[in-house]
């Protein structure tokens, strides 16, 4: 299997009539007034192509990391439905960023003997001039 692309955004919309996807609000480096930050929704689009002899259904894991610390981990299942390419769209609700650092969404398909992993990363920093330990109770970014 190979990764064709991996994107993370506020929304991923799949048009079943045209068989295409639209990415809304691509996640990029962010500056926050304080931490923790809650992203109410994060959508991930991962396009994977498999070889004909590889399994049609595969278990996977998505991990959210801040720098090297895992802050969340969830399983998912991919079913290729007799196709060689699959656009995996995962919707995460309430993604918490507890502190400044590099946020990484790490997706893994658990292939026997050869797992496939792809990462999407963006920075989360404290706004310049903001106090290092603000007592504002964190930040909520509207969907």
- pLDDT beyond 90 at 133: no
Give the model confidence (pLDDT) of 29-72 as tens digits. Answer: 999 988 999 999 999 999 999 999 999 999 999 999 999 999 99
| Measured CA distances, 140 to 50, 97, 98, 103 (Å) | 38, 10, 12, 16
pLDDT at 27: 96
pLDDT-based confidence at 143, cuts 50/70/90?
Answer: very low
The larger pLDDT score, comparing residue 67 to residue 143, is at 67
User: Which of 75, 77, 74, 76 is closest to 57 using CA atoms?
Assistant: 77
Q: Enumerate domains of the chain plus CATH numbers.
A: 2-131 (2.60.40.1930)
Tokens of 42: 């994060």
The token duo for 31 is 């500056």
pTM attached to this predicted model: 0.87
Type and span of the H or E element at 93: strand 85-97
Give the pLDDT confidence score for residue 129 in this predicted structure. Answer: 78
Six-digit token string for 45: 């689009």
Give start and end residues of each alpha helix (H) in the chain: none
What HEC string does 14-44 produce? EECCCCEEEEEEECCCEEECCCCEEEEEEEE
Q: Write out pLDDT tens, residues 120-131.
A: 999 999 988 766
């Amino acid at each position: 299997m190979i990764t064709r692309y991996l994107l993370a955004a506020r929304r991923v919309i799949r048009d079943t009539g045209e068989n295409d996807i639209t990415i809304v609000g691509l996640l990029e480096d962010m500056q926050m007034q304080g931490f923790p930050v809650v992203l109410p929704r994060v959508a991930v689009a991962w396009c994977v192509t498999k070889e004909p002899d590889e399994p049609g259904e595969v278990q996977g894991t998505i991990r959210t990391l801040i720098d090297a610390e895992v802050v969340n981990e969830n399983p998912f299942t991919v079913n290729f439905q007799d196709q060689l390419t699959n656009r995996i769209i995962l919707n995460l609700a309430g993604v918490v960023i507890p502190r400044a650092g590099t946020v990484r969404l790490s997706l893994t398909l658990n292939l026997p003997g050869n797992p496939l992993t792809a990462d999407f990363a963006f920075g989360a920093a404290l706004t310049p001039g903001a106090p290092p330990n603000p007592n504002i109770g964190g930040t909520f970014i509207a969907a």
